[in-house]
Structure 1
Amino acid sequence: MQDLTLVMAQLDPLVGDIPGNAERAIETVREARIEHKADIVVLPELFLTGYPPEDLLLRASMEARLEAARQRMADKVARDVMVIVGYPGRRDGGYYNLAGVLYNGDWLGEYAKQVLPNYQVFDERRYFTPGNRPLVIEHRGARLGVLICEDLWEGRPVHQAREAGADILVTLNASPYHQNKPAERLALFAERAREVQRPLVYVNQIGGQDELVFDGGSLVVDAQGELCVRAPHWQVGLMPVGFTHADGHWVPQAGECEPLAEAEDSLYCALVTGLRDYVNKSGFKGVVLGLSGGIDSALSLAIAVDALGPDRVQAVMMPYHYTADISQEDAAEQARMLGVNYEVMPIVSMVEACNETLAESFAGTPQDTTEENLQSRCRGVLLMAISNKKGLMVLTTGNKSEMAVGYATLYGDMVGGYNALKDVYKTWVYRLAKWRNTQDPVIPERVISRPPSAELAANQQDSDSLPHYDTLDAILERYIEDDMSAEAIIAAGFSEEEVYRVVRLVDRSEYKRRQAPVGVRVTSRGFGRDRRYPIVNGWQPGE
């Protein structure tokens, strides 16, 4: 019995680019054969369509395109290498999430995913029929039990594969990232391997896709659940693992093991990856954002530069009467530190022109948030004009805490095509800014240390209208992430008045969030496809 080399192909497919993804697969197998002498190459779940393809799966031409791609792979993939790759397909009246096995020009078998996730960001039951049988393929003396993603989490198909004679479990995945997810995965996979006393191979995709981001971290654990190999997170690449046959068992050999990154590092990489892929895959030249001198826009600018480079980022300071001198100084200093294109466009004349035009209609009414919102909307007009003229996507900068309670202006600071901080609570904004400055200083220290303010009125601070962010975020996490009722949050030690106030703000701001730009999901419950609440409803806080 000879040794076996399996290569985990941690790749970034483009959703819908079936011919392009097929060519990526062909080139990947060629590289794996030459560089690593691969016997087996495993690619991620639904790789040929990219994940998630959503309603592209309903297009009439989907099956023909997939068949052409599979034929192209059969004709061009390097010989003497077994390839396991994910794609959808119609078979015997059903539509399945499949893993196909290709060897020497022949498709030897297909495995249909049995456990279809239908929670949080997943809705695979909308499209697919569940499979009901295992697939075990023998190659060079090793019997490979093929699985797909959620099959591991539910567990039953793992035992089924072992009972069908699998020596090694091989699972194709498109597992999106959220905070703490890498550690959760490793603990689960180790448990599954121990349950069936078989080594387990986990191959994950990488890259951003709309609001989802995939972190890679492909890995192998042995039959005792011990980590043997782990590919780097946030990097495309090939990771080989050797298997030897001893005492009737296939044993993975220890190899490179990327350590788990600290929480801030992992989260920051997720934000950078999500923004970079959204901009690049959408074909934008770069981004433009309003740089206010505050913490949110400062962190957004750092992320944008790390994602795209300074030459593709434009920052615009748009001061008004209430914009502090230190805000203007800090914005200019950060733009200098990062080397981005920076402009100052005062909005005084725009706001005054709007007020003059509205004066007759507003006669006899006191000033209120209407006038504050006009400032924000004038800024939005300028940013959108720059976007139209220069082909730059507007990067909006609000954080999850603000979006949760509606502390944002529709068609003002919410204007944009993407929001890197959409799923980042304010307390984490500060943590990330401090962490980023430990790598190399890119945010003026005064931006981090001064009290946050929207600067839409004299001497304004966020704490004038919101609880302090430590308290606000603790309430929001319980209400949004954990679905706790107001009474349960109060029972946990929070002020009844503050809890009910925050909960009401969250509930009544759904209409704003529906109109907000897309942003990468990095918590276990993000706004968007992950949390679907009706805009109009009679639900009362506390229920």
Structure 2
Amino acid sequence: MKIAAGQINSVIADFEGNREKIVEYSLRGAKEGADLIVFPELSLCGYPPMDLLDYNSFVEENTLSLRWLQRHLPAEIAVAVGHVSLNSSGTGKKLRNVISVIYGGEVIFTQDKTLLPTYDVFDETRYFEPSSERKLFTFRGEKIGIAICEDLWWESARDTDSVYPIDPVMELLDLGAEIILVPSASPFHKSKIKKRLALCRKTIRKGASSVFYINSVGANDSLIFDGNSIVVDRKGRLVKKAADFEEDFFVCDPDDSCNEIELEYDKYGEIEKALVLGLRDYVHKCGFSRVHLGSSGGIDSALVAALAVKALGAENVKTFAMPSRYSSDGSLTDSKKLAENLGVSYDVIAIEDMFTSFLGALEPHFGGREMDVAEENIQARIRGTLMMGYSNKWGSLVLTTGNKSELATGYCTLYGDMAGGLAVIGDLLKTEVFDLCRYINRDGEIIPWEIINKPPSAELRPDQKDEDSLPPYDVLDGILVEYLMNHRTADEIEALGYEPETVEKIVKLVGRVEYKRGQAPPVLRISDKAFGTGRRMPVARKLYEV
């Protein structure tokens, strides 16, 4: 059987655009002789729809669009499409996450999702009732089962303390499934494709059935979907893979002597593609076309600017240098050289006069105290105000430039450098920022080497260096990985060889600045534990030193 993959970028609530794309890809599949084409989970409405599901009109539009597809899809090809449906059982949640197979103008088969994830960024039990039945349908002589995303991840979910009582894939195999279709909206994080391939191969070992894993592509808010749809034949061989981070289409018959292919993996290549896609889709899906940012001459803002150019084109990116009395000559020359290398518009707005005015206005209220973080933050907040003012006037989106190490420890200023619409590199540790910049420069200088090689500094006081307040970034990031990603306690981290005083300082900092992260813009997620919906911590609490 020839099965086509419709790896599409659905826009949440754009029913007209999504269904027209489904028809377009289905026509292509029919033209290329495919018997069946499979689209991702909830491809008709976009994933995740979240509380739009509370609106009856949104749910009704799913049904109306499904009926529209019945009338407009080519009759000679079966089409498996993901959508929201009402739960007709009379008990439980009112909605189901469904795949419907349309053929010859009729819905010939439906399968509801069984396993509804609630860990990390997922909250599907809030909306959906799980399926009570797994079943097969026979088409063109093949027995086919459908496992919707998490239904395949039964094995992996046990690692996240989500112990499911049902193994949907095993049930489908027990029923005699010869092909397992896996329509998915599986969010990206580093190395995710390796994990998916391993799961598909584990499924093959349970029973001689080929697996078609069709994944969403695109980005919605902080979540990035990488595509990377794959086909694994009955011998466990990877025989087909779609493009990563872009829409794609292929037709595959795994029983037709397909050749095995090797999975190629490029860590920083996939991170760069993910952030570019996440930035582009966030900007465009939110109705913007242009972005701007403060360019300090530092490595973080340089990386964000470079990613923005890749995502949107140099003509849609503007950078501003905003020097104060503490800015080095290098910050201006480096930010200008960066703009020239990238071909973006660049302007300078000096903030010294504004800073002096603020200090004069506050002097009677500061009581003659020594300058400290209060004066440092005033500079950042002046810059934030200028960037937001430009945004309001020109309809351009402000990109923030803070990295994960800074967000974790609070080395950032509310309403200052945190002011903006999207935190592009907020899930990249500082050491990863350096590595990604070097990767971008692999074929020649894009980000000036002067920026990459100089010691990081916020330049908010004389001769300031990041290491005045924080441990070296290789040490800091090592501790953060253990604390945030591996959920180790301070004692456990110290046992790994880290200095106790440093560990305790960092753990306290992470807890103390939870309120800042609660007011940060969305962070593009590229790790399996990003700040945002996947990490939910109380702000008002005693600092429990776990």
- Please report the TM-score for the alignment, with normalisation by the length of structure 1: 0.96
Who is 2:161 aligned against?
Answer: none
Q: Give the equivalent residue in structure 2 for 1:32.
A: 29
Matched, 1:462 2:466: yes
Is 1:68 matched up with 2:64? yes
Q: Deviations over 1:92-143 (max 9, x none)?
A: 2342111101001000121011111110011111111110212312221112
Give 1:22's match in structure 2, choosing from 8, 12, 19: 19
Which amino acid counterpart does residue 218 of structure 2 have in structure 1? G
Offset of residue 363 of structure 1: 2.7
1:7-406 residue pairs with structure 2 within 5 A? 7-34=4-31, 36-92=32-88, 93=90, 94-154=94-154, 156-243=167-254, 251=255, 253-254=257-258, 257=261, 259-406=263-410
Deviation at 1:439, TM superposition (A): 3.8
Shift of 1:212: 0.4
How far 1:441 moved relative to its partner? 2.2
CA contact (8 A) 1:232 1:258 kept: no
Question: Where do 4+ consecutive residues of structure 1 move more than 6 Å?
Answer: none
Give the aligned residue type for 1:60: N
Pairwise CA distance, 1:339 = 0.6
CA contact (8 A) 1:231 1:257 kept: no
Give the aligned partner of residue 476 of structure 1: 480
Cα deviation, 1:498-533, whole Å, max 9, x if unaligned, reads 000000000011100000011211111000100000
Q: Does 1:504 align with 2:501?
A: no
What secondary structure sits across from 2:120 in the alignment?
coil
Q: Deviations over 1:265-311 (max 9, x none)?
A: 01111111100000011111210100000000000000000000000
- Residues matched between the structures, number: 531
Q: Which string of whole-angstrom CA distances, capped at 9 and with x for unpartnered residues, describes residues 186-207 of structure 1?
A: 1111111121121111000101
Would you say 1:432 and 2:440 are equivalent positions? no
Closer, same or farther in 2 for the Cα pair 1:180/1:393, shift >3 Å?
same
**1:189 aligned partner, one-letter code:** C
Structure 2 letter corresponding to 1:355: L
Q: In the alignment, is the contact (CA less than 8 A) between 2:87 and 2:129 conserved in 1?
A: no
Tell whether the 8 Å contact from 1:231 to 1:258 is kept in structure 2 after alignment.
no
Kept after mapping to 2: 8 A contact 1:270/1:522: yes
SS in 1 for 2:153: helix
The percentage of counterpart residues that share the same residue type is 40
Q: Secondary structure at the match of 2:355?
A: helix
1:463-482 deviation digits (Å, cap 9, x = unpaired): 00001000000100111111
Contact 2:291 / 2:398 at 8 angstroms: preserved in 1? Answer: yes
Superposed displacement of residue 58, structure 1: 1.1
On the 8 A contact 1:241/1:255 being kept in 2, the answer is no
The DSSP-based 3-state class of the residue aligned with 2:26 is helix
Give the drift of 1:382.
Answer: 0.8
Partner SS for 2:482: helix
Give CA deviations for 1:306-331 in whole Å, capped at 9, x if unaligned.
00000000000001111111111111
C-alpha distance in 1, partners of 2:531/2:513? Answer: 12
* Partner secondary structure for residue 272 of structure 2: helix
Mapped partners of 1:208, 1:260: distance in 2? 23
SS at structure 2 position matched to 1:61: helix
Offset from partner CA, 1:70-105 (integer Å, 9 cap, x none): 111000001110000111111223421111010010
Change in Cα spacing, 1:253 to 1:395, as seen in structure 2 (3 Å) is farther
- Out of 401, 416, 419, the position equivalent to 2:420 is 416
Query: Which whole-Å CA distance do the structure 2 matches of 1:175 and 1:281 have between them?
Result: 19
Distance of 2:96 and 2:502 partners within structure 1: 48
**1:228 and 1:253 in contact (8 A); partners too:** no
Contact between 1:43 and 1:86, CA under 8 Å: does it hold in 2?
yes
Q: Quote the Cα distance in structure 2 between the aligned partners of 1:192 and 1:413.
A: 47
Query: Match for 1:128: what amino acid?
Result: F
Distance 2:290 2:265 in 1: 28
Residue 517 (structure 1) aligned with residue 540 (structure 2): no
Conservation of the 8 A alpha-carbon contact between 2:38 and 2:79? yes
Matched residue SS, 2:253 = strand
User: Unaligned regions of 5+ residues in structure 2, if any?
Assistant: 156-166
Query: How high is the TM-score relative to the length of structure 2?
Result: 0.95
* CA deviation after TM superposition for structure 1 residue 440, in Å: 4.0
SS of the counterpart of 1:178?
Answer: coil
- 2:159 aligns to what? none
Superposition RMSD in Å: 1.2
Structure 1: gaps (5+ residues): 244-250
**Which residue does the alignment assign to 1:246?**
none
> What is the CA–CA distance in structure 1 between the aligned matches of 2:123 and 2:414, rounded to whole Å?
29
Confirm or deny: 8 A CA contact 2:178 2:208 kept in the other structure: no
